[in-house]
Amino acid sequence: MFGFGVLKGMSVTLWNFILSYIYPKKGITTVQYPEKKKEVEERFRNFPFLVYDGTPDNMRCVACDICAKECPPKCIYIIPEKDAQGRIQKKPATFDIDYAICMNCGICEEVCPFDAIFMDHEYELSEYDRLSDLMYPKEKLLKPVEHFMKIRPTDCGAIEAQRAAKGIKGRAAQVQSAPAATVKPAETQQNPPANA
Amino acid sequence: MEASDTIFVAFKKAILGFLQGFLPDWTVVIVSILISITAIAIFGPVTMMYLTWLERKVVGRIQNRYGPNRVGIFGLLQPIADGVKMLTKEDIVPQAADKVTHFLAPVIVVIPALLVFSVLPFGKGMAAVNLNVGLLFFLAISTMSTIAIFMGSWGSRNKFSLLGGMRAVAQMVSYEIPMVMSVVPVILVTGSLSTVSIVEAQLGGKWFVFTPWGFFAAIVFFLCGVAEVNRTPFDLPEGESEIIAGFHTEYSGMKFALFYMAEFMSAFAISGLTATLFFGGWDGPFLPSWVWFLIKAYAMIFIMIWFRGTLPRLRVDQLMGFAWKLLLPFALLNIFVAALWQLLPAPKNLIVAGAAEAVVLVVIFVAARKDSPQKRTYIFAD
């Protein structure tokens, strides 16, 4: 009937108003951000980090430059380490990611054949200077594999199981059996197609 | 009880009595006027500040969130933070604007909003002036804000401002008529235009809202009042989704705040007048009279905010149709019902006026059915 829709709407809003006082759990959906934080989903991804086994020296990255080539906005910059004779070593001397440029696509994670780079859950990255402070060098990017296990247990469990099945045991073993590691087929990558 | 009831009046009397000892009589009169002016000039803006807070809180709760709660406990210092922000903002005047009109509009818009407080009876003996044409004064002065709004919209030299101003004038002129018509029964029954005597006629719980004509007159008056002060759902003059901000598009900083202040003070004044005319003003048991007045006025304000949290904005034709096709005939017929009520002796008039009111309702409903929104039929969607 004419005019009754108004009353119906008014009753809905009044009920919301009352509910917010008598039962705030349901009546109020706000999360008081700096004090309380919402749990992020396991599949949440935002900026890449580098994985190491045990100590930061044992990083998985071999400076193959695939991620830097695949990166759409070209935010990854890698210089491989060289020994005294100038031969290229399987380890990066410089590994910089410019978080100001990174667009969180996760392609680096998908293309990495050495399971060395993954997307992190960290999102409070505000800085005062976007040029210098958001340029993340190797030291800031390196995080232990336990951290990966903590934030994304499903992905990490699957990947580590694969690595164990293939007999890959961290850096020392990987360097010896490098040819075996590079022929890792594409479908064994960590991300199912749903995320791609 | 008696002491707390007249605390403000007694305070003023004490000051005047003290001054009478050594000042000539004519200065005491001026001081008396100044005290009343100061009280209103403080009460108005402070009320406005906390109405903004209240509105944000209530609308927040309606929308399942907290509203301001960061500045001070419960966000109580939020209005002060807002004020500081408003005062420090840059004051921009458009190059092509009519500078004088653009400057004067926000100044003038506050004046009627403050003036109308002078005839509101805030409590027993607490009307600043007991004008014998108080109600007429209120209605006449509150309409003045239309001129200021139109000045602002014209002076801004902005097409959105001008559209908003035109809408404001059309709307306020339209809603003024049912508003005055809905007040006529009150004047008819009390036989006075003074707001103080209107409250005195309702003392002892004989509020006009409990009579058949008063109930509907209160609704009509309140709806027209909401439209008069440009609040949702009648906020077409500042419809932000259509014309940016309407008449105050080109205003920033404190000038904008003055428009805002005028809107909220008028909203409070309209709420106070609704309480005065139909809800017995300061009449009520146990509590001091001014507390009763504030309770009633804030209840009306809550309804306004509740409207804002619920209803979408009307279309211009719906707005005009509502005023001219529904409220105006209803208010006119309501005068007739009130006359019946006044004419007949006490027990009989309730039945007769109630029956007449029911007939009026049915007539209005049937007549308005043609214009009421129909259920929409979709031709092409399955």
Q: Is A33 on the interface with B (CB under 8 A)?
A: no
CB contact under 8 A, B61 and A14: no
Q: Would residue A39 count as lying in a domain?
A: no
Strand A48-52 and strand A142-144: pairing?
A: parallel
CB contact under 8 A, A17 and B62: yes
Residues A64 and A12 in one domain: no
Q: Would residue A35 count as lying in a domain?
A: no
State how far the Cα of A55 lies from the Cα of A59, in Å rounded to an integer.
Answer: 8
The torsion of the CA quartet A17, A19, A21, A22, rounded to 10 degrees, works out to 150
Three-class SS of residue B370?
coil
Three-class SS of residue A91?
strand
Q: Would residue A37 count as lying in a domain?
A: no
Q: What is the CATH number of the domain that holds A173?
A: 3.30.70
Shortest distance between the Cα of A19 and any Cα of chain B, in A, equals 9
Query: What per-residue confidence (pLDDT) applies to B159?
Result: 87
Q: Where are the domains of chain B?
A: 2-368
Asked if the model's pLDDT at residue A182 lies above 50, the reply is no
Query: What per-residue confidence (pLDDT) applies to A33?
Result: 87
Spell out, as residue ranges, where chain B has pLDDT lower than 50.
Answer: none
Contact present, A137 and A95 (Cβ < 8 Å): yes
Residues A52 and A22 in one domain: no
**Which chain B residues touch A if contact means CB-CB below 8 Å?**
58, 61-66, 306-307, 309-311, 365, 368-369, 372-373
CB contact under 8 A, A28 and B64: yes
Residues A67 and A13 in one domain: no
Nearest-CB residue to A20 (from B64, B306, B311): B64
Q: Would residue A40 count as lying in a domain?
A: no
Residues A21 and A54 in one domain: no
The 10 Å Cβ neighbour count of residue B79 is: 22
Residues A79 and A172 in one domain: yes
Query: What per-residue confidence (pLDDT) applies to B22?
Result: 81
Mean pLDDT, chain A, integer: 82
Give tens-digit pLDDT for A60-100: 888 888 999 999 999 999 999 888 888 888 888 899 999 88
- How would residue A188 be classed by pLDDT, with cut points 50, 70 and 90? very low
**Substitution target from A30, A33, A36 for chain B, most B beta carbons within 10 A:** A30
Q: Would residue A162 count as lying in a domain?
A: yes
Q: Is A12 on the interface with B (CB under 8 A)?
A: yes
Residues A15 and A67 in one domain: no
Query: What per-residue confidence (pLDDT) applies to B374?
Result: 67
Query: What per-residue confidence (pLDDT) applies to A194?
Result: 47
CB contact under 8 A, A17 and B311: no
State how far the Cα of A134 lies from the Cα of B51, in Å rounded to an integer.
Answer: 43
CB contact under 8 A, A2 and B372: yes
Strand A117-119 and strand A48-52: pairing?
A: antiparallel
State how far the Cα of B272 lies from the Cα of B270, in Å rounded to an integer.
Answer: 5
Q: Is A27 on the interface with B (CB under 8 A)?
A: yes
State how far the Cα of B330 lies from the Cα of B347, in Å rounded to an integer.
Answer: 25
Give tens-digit pLDDT for B168-208: 888 888 888 999 999 998 998 888 888 888 888 888 878 88
Residues A172 and A101 in one domain: yes
What is the share, in percent, of chain A residues with pLDDT greater than 70? 85
Residues A84 and A142 in one domain: yes
CB contact under 8 A, A27 and B64: yes
- What is the extent of the structural domain holding A4? 1-30
Q: How far is CA B215 from CA B100, B222, B331, B337, B355, in A?
A: 45, 11, 12, 12, 14
Residues A23 and A94 in one domain: no
Residues A117 and A151 in one domain: yes
Whether pTM > 0.90 for this model: the answer is no
Residues A14 and A68 in one domain: no
Give tens-digit pLDDT for B41-82: 888 888 888 899 999 999 999 998 888 888 888 888 988 998
Contact present, A30 and B65 (Cβ < 8 Å): yes
Residues A179 and A93 in one domain: yes
Contact present, B140 and B183 (Cβ < 8 Å): no
Q: Is A6 on the interface with B (CB under 8 A)?
A: yes
Tally of structural domains, chain A: 2
